[in-house]
Each structure stands twice: as C-alpha cells, then as structure tokens.
Amino acid sequence: MGVRDPEPVARTNPLLIPSIALGYVPFVIIVLYSFPDETLNKFDFFIFSGMFLIPLLPIYSFYLFQLIRQGRKNKTLTTSVVIFYIISFLVPFFWLLMYAWFAINFNGIV
C-alpha cells in the first residue's frame, strides 16, 4: 500500500460569474464612450451588446438557480449574497429591456 494523494479540493468562488455579469453593462458603456466615432460603430455595438444577452440571460438565470440551490443545501447562502445575485441579474436584464424597447420602437426607421 502506497501513500495516496489527498482528494483535490475544488475551490470555486460563487461570486465570480455574478461579478462579471454585473460588470457587463458598465463595460459596454465605457467602451461606447471611450472610442471615437471613426474606430467603432457605436450603434452596431449597442445593438450587438443587447442581442448578446438574449441567449445568455436564460443560461445565467439557470446558473444562478443552481448556485442558490447549492448554497441552501450547504447552508452557506446569506441574504447579502442573494441580493447580490438578484442585482447581478437585474442589471443585464434592464439592458436587454432597453435594447428590446429600442428595437421595437425604431425598427426600420434608423
């Protein structure tokens, strides 16, 4: 019998992905205002940043659901973490709603 390696401990940060999701909208706004008009088509960038969220938000909501379920099972879920999860979902969701409002109201006009 030899010495066995200890089981690898998977250390994951449950706030990493929600932090990235929360930073998505400020990142898009910074990119929109930091480039001059000649280098970046701001209208297309705004439209594509909203379209990008259409498939990602359902996936992200499922991911948050799994994190919340796992946190409740492990008894590590706190109220502040749940509030952070909700805010990290609502900020991109409102960006998606803004894109949808813009696409509905200005479809074919611009």
Q: Tell me the mean pLDDT per 10 residues along the chain, length 110.
A: 62 82 92 81 85 93 93 90 94 91 72
Q: Give the Cα separation of 96 and 54 in Å (integer).
A: 7
- Residue 88 belongs to a domain: yes
- Residue 27 belongs to a domain: yes
pLDDT at residue 5, as a whole number = 63
pLDDT at residue 83, as a whole number = 94
Question: Domain residues for 48?
Answer: 17-105
Q: How many domains in the chain?
A: 1
The pair phi, psi for residue 25, each rounded to 5°, is -70, -45
- Residue 59 belongs to a domain: yes
pLDDT at residue 34, as a whole number = 87
- Residue 92 belongs to a domain: yes
Supply the pTM of this predicted model. Answer: 0.79
Cα separations in angstroms, 33 against 42, 84, 91, 102: 9, 27, 19, 19
- Residue 7 belongs to a domain: no
